[in-house]
Amino acid sequence: MAGLPISAELNVTRPAPERAALLLEVYRRFRQTYGEVPLIPRREAMHELISTILSQRTTAANEDAAYQELRQLGDWDAIVAAPVEAVTESIRLSNYPEQKAPRIQATLRAVKAEHGNYNLDFLAELNPAEGLKWLTALPGVGVKTASLVLLFNYAKPVFPVDTHVHRITSRIGAIPKMGEQAAHKALLALLPPDPPLLYELHINLLRHGQQVCTFSRPRCGKCVLQDICDAYKIYDGKVPPFKT
Ligand code: SF4
């Protein structure tokens, strides 16, 4: 990978085969640095879905606190039946609770209306495109949330792109300048349809983004991607805050 051409400026696209090889090299180096990450669901599917809605623009600690308090209202039926103000109050530690509360209730209502319960396991029988279509039709569920549920809970070959995945893959030169939403399709097209690989790469990009390739001051001196990163070369080691 050391011989990759350097773009004249960040976000000029390299040929697709080089970008695909770059992502596999990132996967390989992260395996050495952070270790293997087995694809095991971390929580039940509806928990994952609601928690991911709560996680939007919210820290992991506050997302979890909001979820725990939401569940104090009772089972999913009780949460649907509760006044929206009560749901809003219960998730106040999550940012934008006034927007998220009605969306959570509407999502739960839609799942129950279509399937008679709150079990999402029917998603296991759908192909990735069908699963994404069904989930993103729910209120407040975007492609990132839908991809998380499908990959984490049902081992479908999709690739969730959060802020960390987007930032690192943009900086290294795996994708040209584009929004998070568009990056889902662009990155998936470069990666093999291998759910354990996609999961491990996603988790390790998240870890790298939190610990090393941070938004405002990336710690390039400690980065195992330094010699293959476009941003590092273009900015001569002084990588600026990330601009979306
Ligand atoms: Fe991020 Fe710097 Fe590593 Fe590039 S070298 S991936 S900018 S931390």
Q: Is the CB of 208 under 6 A from ligand 1?
A: no
**What is the rounded distance in angstroms from the CA atom of residue 215 to the CA atom of residue 146?**
24
CATH 1.10.340.30 domain position(s) in the chain: 45-154
Closest C-alpha residue for ligand 1 atom 4: 229
Average pLDDT over all residues of the chain: 92
Alpha carbon of 119 to ligand 1 centroid (Å)? 41
Which tens digits make up the pLDDT trace of 126-167? 999 999 999 999 988 999 999 999 999 999 999 999 999 999
pLDDT digits (tens, 9 = 90+) for 39-63: 999 899 999 999 999 998 888 899 9
239 CA distance to ligand 1 centroid (A)? Answer: 8
Among protein residues, the one with the nearest Cα to ligand 1's atom 2 is 220
Q: Would the CB of 66 count as within 6 Å of ligand 1?
A: no
Q: Is the CB of 225 under 6 A from ligand 1?
A: yes
* Other C-beta atoms lying within 10 Å of the C-beta of residue 129: 10
Residue range(s) of every CATH 1.10.1670.10 domain in the chain? 11-38+159-235
Tell me, in angstroms, the distance from the centre of ligand 1 to residue 35's CA: 19
Please determine, for residue 1, whether its predicted confidence score (pLDDT) is greater than 70. Answer: no
Instruction: Tell me if 239 CB under 6 Å of ligand 1.
Output: yes
Rounded CA separation 94/221 (Å):
34
What topology is assigned to 11-38+159-235 in CATH? Endonuclease Iii, domain 2 (1.10.1670)
Residue carrying the six token digits 């109050």: 89
Query: How is domain 45-154 classified at the CATH fold level?
Result: Endonuclease III; domain 1 (1.10.340)
Asked if ipTM goes beyond 0.90, one says yes
Residue of the nearest CA to atom 5 in ligand 1?
A: 226
In 65-74, which positions are buried (b, 16+ CB within 10 angstroms) versus exposed (e)? bbbeebeebe
Tokens encoding 230:
């476009």
- Using the atom order of ligand 1, give the atom closest to the CA of residue 219: 8
Q: Would the CB of 220 count as within 6 Å of ligand 1?
A: yes
Q: Tell me the pTM.
A: 0.90
In sequence order, what DSSP letters do the residues of 11-66 get, joined into one string? TPPPPHHHHHHHHHHHHHHHHHHH-------SS-HHHHHHHHHHHTTS-HHHHHHH
Beta-carbon count within 10 A of 47 CB: 15
